Amino acid sequence: MTHQKSSELSQKVINGEPVKLTFHYHSRDIVRFINSLVIKILSGNDMSYLQTIVETVLREMIVNAVKANSKRVFFQKFGMDINDANDYLLGMEKFKSFIIENQDSLVTDLKENGYKVEIIVKKGEQGFRILVRNNSPLVQAERERIQMRIEKARQYNDFSDIYMDIGDDEEGEGLGIPLTILFLKNSGMGDNSFSIQSNAELTQSAFTIPFNIQSIDVKTQIQNQIVDTVDELPSLPEYINELEALCAKKDVSIMELAEKVSIDPSLAASVLRLSNSGGFITARRIESLHDAIMIIGLKNLKAMLVTIGARRILDEHFAEFKDVWKHCNKTAFYARLIAEKFRLNSISDRVYLASLLHDLGKIVLLSTDAKLVQQIAEIAVKRKIRTSTVIEEVSIGISHSSIGRMIAEKWKLSSYIVEAIAYHHSPSKASAENRDIVYVTYLANKLCLIEEKKFDYFFFEDSVLERFKLTDEDTFNAFHKQLSEKYLAQ
């Protein structure tokens, strides 16, 4: 299964021809391929903004279908009748540990017993219809459980309510259906499009991705708190704005800049420290601000001004989040190397700055409700959701990307920084003017997330891989290795 194959199938769906995929177990490669197919279908219809939500909903449906088939294997293996109420209750006490401990043998058992899952994707008048079928009909206990979860989930708008209210996880799926309903409802796709039906031969879950999405403004207490927090943030210090303006002047003197920098001792120390770092080759130690500014250049000075100003404000108002800044620094390092590699030297300073600031919103989000954010992170990892952004959007009503955009606009940062922050998870939304900057920021960020085991090559948007000629996975991995080695060697 390759990118090319998924492109061929996605085009068939877009042209109106149904596509069916059949498998016994959801291996990593199968999930990667399905995600790749979905991404291409959405991208081909200007619906990329739904990518993560659709992937997440579809994955929940696939997992539940495979789990239902696995349950039948379990009951057969231990000689229990799944239709008997007492046997069902007794069996479900042991099923969760069974499915965890026997994943390798389950693949063979499912195949030998003829259990399979089918995914059908087709284009209709209203939108794209996705069906997930497994060849095991529901028993009464399952019907009641599923119906209860659907009805309960439709009462919620907030993730924290679901997390607190649905504590039953006896079948290892506690949050699956509620999350699916919440995602569809709060994304604007509509929870009514989701259905589960069963007859004597199979069970089918389905939902529709409508061509026309109704925008839903999810207002939660946390979202309002975040908006208020951003409104209360101070503006960047005036002297930093003045320094930025000086850097932009063609006839500015180094002495004039040095005098202005010296107003802030910590800024002066940072400039001196940077000029003596390994990123600049000097024959002697730099001791004066005049020489330091000469060494680092006006573009680097401007980037440092904005970054220091932003970090100082956030560190003063919130607890320190060193991991976020560490990630941003590495992303910026990669971004500059990417720009240089692909002869985008004219934007290298801008991609560096944009990447340094791309996760501004995450710091505010983490500081607003650390407990809820921790719950979101746990669910994202547990359910293998490749980014927590999707849960942020549907549970809190606003993602860290949008929070960052609000901050950047409040501080009147350049449009390329605003777009890089807003679209570092959805680069196809970038304007033509700032597309390369957003693409580089996106690529650099995802490379770091791959190293953190939070992303995968197959999840990349094709347009970005094509822009940088990285559509071959081996070429991509070799390129990633080069950047990683340079980072470790600095």
CATH number of residue 141's parent domain: 3.30.565.10
What phi and psi values does residue 177 have, to the nearest 5 degrees?
Answer: -65, -45
Which residue matches tokens 């991509």? Answer: 476
Output the six-digit token pair for 361. Answer: 């919103």
Residue 336 lies in a domain: yes
Please provide residue 399's backbone torsions phi and psi, each rounded to the nearest 5 degrees.
-95, 165
Residues 172 and 269 in one domain: no
Among residues 153, 188, 210, which one ends one of the domains? 210
One pLDDT digit (tens) per residue for the chain, 490 residues = 555 588 789 889 999 999 999 999 988 788 888 888 888 888 777 676 677 788 888 988 998 999 999 999 999 999 999 989 899 989 988 888 888 788 778 889 999 999 999 999 999 988 999 999 999 999 988 888 888 888 877 776 665 566 555 544 444 445 677 778 877 877 778 878 888 999 999 999 999 998 877 554 544 555 666 667 666 666 666 666 677 778 778 788 888 888 877 777 767 777 777 777 655 656 678 778 888 888 877 777 777 777 777 766 666 655 556 678 788 889 989 999 999 999 998 888 789 888 988 988 887 776 666 666 666 666 555 655 555 555 565 556 677 888 889 888 888 788 998 999 999 988 888 999 999 999 999 999 999 999 988 777 877 887 899 999 999 999 999 999 999 999 998 7
Region for 469 from its dihedrals, namely left if φ exceeds 0, alpha if ψ lies in -120 to 50, beta otherwise? left
- 274: which residues sit within 8 A by CB, 6+ positions away? 280, 292, 296, 300, 304
d(CA 352, CA 354): 6
Examine the fold and report which residue of 186, 210, 234 is the final residue of a domain before the chain moves on.
210
Same domain, 192 and 252: no
CA distance 125 to 133: 22
Where in the sequence is the domain holding 474, given as residue range(s)?
A: 221-489
Separation CA 198–CA 215 (nearest Å): 32
For residues 190 and 214, give the distance between their C-alpha atoms in angstroms, rounded to a whole number. Answer: 8
pLDDT at 163: 55
CA–CA distance from 107 to each of 23, 54, 89, 172 (Å)? 10, 26, 25, 18
Distance (Å, whole) CA 439 – CA 366: 26
Backbone angles phi, psi at 123, to 5 degrees: -100, 130
Look at the chain and report how many structural domains it folds into. 2
Residues 426 and 331 in one domain: yes
Structural contact between residues 471 and 465, judged by C-beta atoms closer than 8 angstroms = yes
Q: Clarify whether residues 194 and 296 are in a common domain.
A: no
Q: Determine which helix (DSSP H) or strand (DSSP E) holds 118, and give its type and residue range.
A: strand 117-123
- Is residue 216 domain-resident? no
Return the amino acid letter for 400.
H
* CA 269 to the chain's CA centroid: 36
- Give residue 391's pLDDT: 58
Q: Are residues 295 and 438 in the same domain?
A: yes
Q: Are 343 and 389 contained in the same domain?
A: yes
Element (H, E) at 254: helix 254-261
Mark whether 44 and 146 lie in a shared domain: yes
Same domain membership, residue 289 and residue 162: no
Domain-ending residue, one of 159, 191, 210 = 210
Any bridge partners for residue 198, and if so which?
203
**143 and 182 in one domain?**
yes
Tell me, yes or no, whether 255 and 368 share the same domain. yes
DSSP string, 74-92: HHHHTT--TTSHHHHHHHH
Residue-level pLDDT at 284: 73
Structure tokens of 239? 């002297």
Strand ordering across the sheet containing 195-198:
19-23, 117-123, 127-134, 203-210, 195-198
How confident is the model at residue 340, as a pLDDT?
92
